[in-house]
Amino acid sequence: MFRKYTLIGSPLGHSMSPWIHEHLFAMAGRQAEYTLTEISPEDLQQHMPALKSLTGFNITIPHKISIIPYLQTLDETAQRYHSVNCVHNTPDGSIGYNTDCEGFLRSVQDFPLDGKVLLIGCGGVGRMMATEAIRHKANLTISEPNQKIAKALKAELENAYPGAKIRLISADQLEENFDLLMNACPVGMYPKTENCPVNDAFISRCSHVFDVIYNPTETVLIQKAKAMQIPAVGGAAMLVWQAVRAHEIWDGDTYTAEQIQKLISDMEQEIARLFPVKESLL
């Protein structure tokens, strides 16, 4: 059966999702179509009949929360973050999932998520990263310029996880050491690839670094960390692994770790081809 899928969001720009999903379908030997569907916030409702006629679809900003009222069921992951990035349309209705967490946890599986963790930015995907840090018993510090968002997330997590260790600080207070620095803000993203969310002195005080940005595949933050011999991972692996989880949900497909590692490497090369930047951003 020929299946159809799409990614909804606005703006979508040069999304890598079709490239990733087409390769995953090919690896599984499936005939399927994956497209991009740009939908403005006010037009979501009128697109729902067409979306529900598909086998499944992915969601990015600004629809990850607003899609929820149109779904029949939420998986535990979607309930946990009150955010949906993957929908499976079944005979019993549309089920919402959050697969970002799978991609994130696979990306930082060798990092001390249960240690002293700093999160920069807690909007969108940062909420999920903060939640997982607390679920792993981290001592979490959040640096987020929008205090309203930061305070709301802190209260939400403290309510959901009694005993959670969370504090809020401003960027100019970053003077101590951390086991893990996680960047969930857009600073350093293409096309402004020369920017970095923290200075060199602070990077040197972090034992591990994760940057959710995947374009460029190595941000200035990641390059600086690696130059200091600090273990550092960018967002490409997270993007691919969350897509793999979607295929497991939609079709029950499975892939080897070697297959996915090669796909991550190939995608990084494709990003470098599509969005050329200086060889070194330092």
Catalytic residue among 52, 64, 151, 224: 64
How far, CA to CA in Å, does 155 sit from each of 73, 91, 133, 161, 168?
A: 26, 38, 15, 10, 11
Type of residue at 179: D
Residue 4 is among the residues annotated as catalytic for this protein: no
Report the distance separating Cα 164 and Cα 140, nearest Å.
8
**Helices 257-274, 236-251: inter-axial angle, 10-degree rounding:** 130
Within 8 A by CB and 6+ apart from 115, the residues are: 138, 139, 178, 179, 180, 207
40 CA to centre of own chain: 21
SS3 annotation, 169-191:
CCHHHCCCCECEEEECCCCCCCC
Q: What is the dihedral of CA 73, 75, 81, 86, to 10 degrees?
A: -80
- Closest by CA to 247, choosing from 17, 10, 82, is 17
Report the distance separating Cα 149 and Cα 142, nearest Å.
11
Q: What is the dihedral of CA 49, 247, 213, 66, to 10 degrees?
A: 30
DSSP 35: E
Q: Extract the tokens encoding 53.
A: 């006629």
Q: Which residues are catalytic?
A: 64
